[in-house]
Copies of this chain bind each other. A is one copy, B any other.
């Protein structure tokens, strides 16, 4: 079971049982659906037919335009839509075949996808502040070793910007990474679902599709930028190369057997979103600004405890490392790793987070992932207000959550005395 969805279900049950909980588990954005998108979906409710496996021409053309406006000209015939980028990431593993390299820490589903697809996940650590991209030198070592051992790594997954760390791998790392994948002849699967949630417009994420265009598949969707996880629409951009066209055919073939086509009414609304009319762009800008201010406020509270924290540049996540407080946590709470810390936070304080182990961290790691998007409010009206507030931190419910986080962290990390 997806660790995020499982933790979320557990928290929901405790909340329904009347407990006070602070849900920092799931990265579900939870903001209201933009009215213009609601209208497009409603207007498309008469679409009952499957349509093309790869998605409608309108949706594929809109997605191609989306990438084109980001400096990557895209042939709509090399776009494949699916019921979420999660489904596409899974289907890509089946279509590519062989084993797959995944970053550690990395999103909970990459390793699970590999296991379900019957391929071997080869884990490679990322460097601090360069989350989501396997360290290029260690990637070379790991792939060389794996091949020497008779394994068959053909792809490497990256997350730019990164979940769980909220960092964005820099151009230097990506250039070294691109050289490595070229030397190693690996296909890059670049999960860019957080691509529009980089706070500083002057320093956007660099896609491997720019540096290794002949071998990079990009996936994205509307789950994060427009809070449309429940609509289940993602898109993949395949490389414009003979190998890329062949992979497109194989991906469509897998898609035809697993999901037939993305939901048709949703495709119509998604096409509108990927066209990026001004109100869509404005909504994403407001969401991004909200994420930034709340993540930074929460991060400041974690940093104040003495936990290590790399500066966050995107998403609504932070990934503190409590290693500097190891002795104290061990002595006061018998907590020796992220799993135990997660249990302590949940059982004693009703605070839900995810342990680093869910992201592949080794035993003994004291990292946890904290998602802040559920702090915007527990009703649609409050979330709407958070989105439009000039200073969301002054909203009483946001304030109360921040105070509660501070209080819990102070209690958990207080020196023995």
Q: Which A residues contact B (CB, under 8 angstroms)? A: 1-2, 5-6, 9, 28, 30-33, 37-39, 41-43, 45-53, 83-84, 86-87, 90, 94, 109, 112-113, 116, 118, 226-232, 249, 252-254, 256-266
Contacts and interface: CB of A to CB of B under 8 A. Distances in A.
A340 to B, nearest CB: 24
B257 A90 contact: yes
A260 B229 contact: yes
A38 to B, nearest CB: 4
Contacts of A39: 45
Contacts of A226: 48
B49 A30 contact: yes
Given A118-B118, A254-B116, A265-B265, A49 B260 contact: no
A353 to B, nearest CB: 19
A254 B254 CA distance: 17
Given A28-B49, A45-B33, A46-B33, A232 B256 contact: no
A94 to B, nearest CB: 6
B48 A32 contact: yes
A42 B39 CA distance: 8
Given A2-B257, A39-B45, 18 more contacts: A1-B249, A1-B256, A2-B260, A28-B50, A32-B48, A33-B48, A38-B46, A41-B42, A42-B42, A48-B227, A48-B230, A49-B227, A50-B229, A94-B116, A229-B260, A230-B263, A231-B263, A232-B232
A259 B112 CA distance: 13
Contacts of A113: 257
Residue of A9, A32, A226 with most partner-chain B CB within 10 A: A9
A286 to B, nearest CB: 15
11 contacts: A2-B257, A33-B45, A33-B48, A41-B41, A47-B230, A50-B229, A86-B260, A94-B116, A231-B265, A232-B263, A259-B259
A230 B53 contact: no
A263 B266 contact: yes
B261 A230 contact: yes
A38 B46 CA distance: 6
Specify which of A226, A230, A252 lies most central, judged by the most chain B CB atoms within 10 Å of its CB.
A230
Nearest to A5: B256
Given A231-B263, A232-B263, A262-B232, A257 B116 contact: yes
A163 to B, nearest CB: 14
A103 B49 CA distance: 28
A288 B259 CA distance: 25
Given A2-B257, A84-B259, A256-B5, A229 B265 contact: no
A46 B32 contact: yes
Contacts of A232: 83, 232, 259-264
Contacts of A87: 258-259
A362 B43 CA distance: 47
Given A48-B230, A231-B48, A90 B260 contact: no
Given A2-B256, A42-B42, A228 B48 contact: yes
Nearest to A230: B264
Given A41-B42, A259-B259, A230 B50 contact: yes
Contacts of A249: 1
Nearest to A262: B232
A49 B228 CA distance: 6
Nearest to A265: B41
Interchain residue pairs A-B with the least CB separation, the first 3? A230-B264, A42-B42, A2-B256
Nearest to A33: B48
Nearest to A233: B263
A45 B52 contact: no
A39 B265 CA distance: 13
Contacts of A230: 47-51, 261, 263-265
